[in-house]
């Protein structure tokens, strides 16, 4: 597949260029997938360009019947977590866990960089374990490092959504690298 190079986007008119339409469509008969898709479609339809991501998160979680949300955040996003959690607590029970949970050292995990960015390691697997122990229905990533977000998502027992993506250079807006020609030109190598 290379959809990003497609000139026609005929899939928007129903064309199946995969040859796997029926096989893939059958997967949506899974009750959880079916519910998630219906709720997501309803929110998009009802609130298109009206609700921000936090508002959509609340609405989605309510409609899914979630009672307890988990917030896995980078310790560098403490302020954002302290702002988000009271908003969520108006509607749900909320558990939160920062990335340094359990105080595991980088040395214990055979990691480099302790002298440059701190002695203690981020612990995305520990974050997932703590939220699993708390019985969360949905987990929310707030600013976990690249790679740590992957491990957290892999080890989370509950579904995961990302609210904030960490980008220390672009004020946590990684899409700016794609929108801003001045940044983009440094990413595209001359041919």
Q: Which CATH architecture has domain 66-191?
A: 3-Layer(aba) Sandwich (3.40)
- Taking only the tens place, the pLDDT of each residue in 48-103 is 999 999 999 999 999 999 999 999 999 999 999 999 999 999 999 999 999 999 99
Residue 48 backbone phi and psi in degrees, to 5: -55, 120
Output the pTM of the full model.
0.92
| Separation between Cα atoms, residue 97 and residue 140, nearest integer Å | 11
Long-range contacts of 89-92 (CB under 8 A, 24+ apart): 91/58, 91/61, 91/62, 92/61, 92/66, 92/67, 92/68
- Asked whether the beta carbons of 40 and 63 are under 8 A apart, the reply is no
- Taking only the tens place, the pLDDT of each residue in 16-51 is 999 999 999 999 999 999 999 999 999 999 999 999
Residue 98 backbone phi and psi in degrees, to 5: -85, 165
Q: Where are the domains of the chain?
A: 26-65, 66-191
């Amino acid at each position: 597949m290379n959809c990003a190079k497609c000139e026609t986007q005929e899939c928007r008119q129903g064309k199946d260029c995969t040859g796997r339409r029926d096989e893939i469509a059958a997967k949506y008969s899974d009750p959880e997938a079916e519910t998630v898709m219906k709720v997501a479609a309803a929110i998009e339809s009802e609130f298109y360009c009206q609700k921000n991501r936090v508002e959509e998160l609340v609405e989605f979680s309510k409609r899914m019947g979630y009672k307890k949300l988990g917030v896995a955040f980078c310790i560098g996003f403490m302020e954002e977590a302290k702002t988000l959690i009271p908003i969520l607590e108006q509607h749900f029970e909320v558990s939160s866990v920062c990335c340094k949970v359990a105080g595991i050292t980088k040395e214990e995990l055979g990691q480099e960089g302790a002298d440059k960015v701190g002695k203690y390691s981020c612990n995305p697997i520990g974050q997932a374990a703590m939220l699993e122990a708390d019985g969360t229905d949905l987990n929310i990533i707030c600013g976990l490092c690249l790679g740590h977000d992957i491990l957290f998502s892999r080890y989370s027992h509950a579904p995961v959504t990302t609210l904030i993506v960490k980008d220390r250079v672009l004020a946590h807006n990684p899409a700016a690298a794609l929108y801003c020609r001045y940044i983009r030109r440094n990413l595209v190598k001359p041919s």
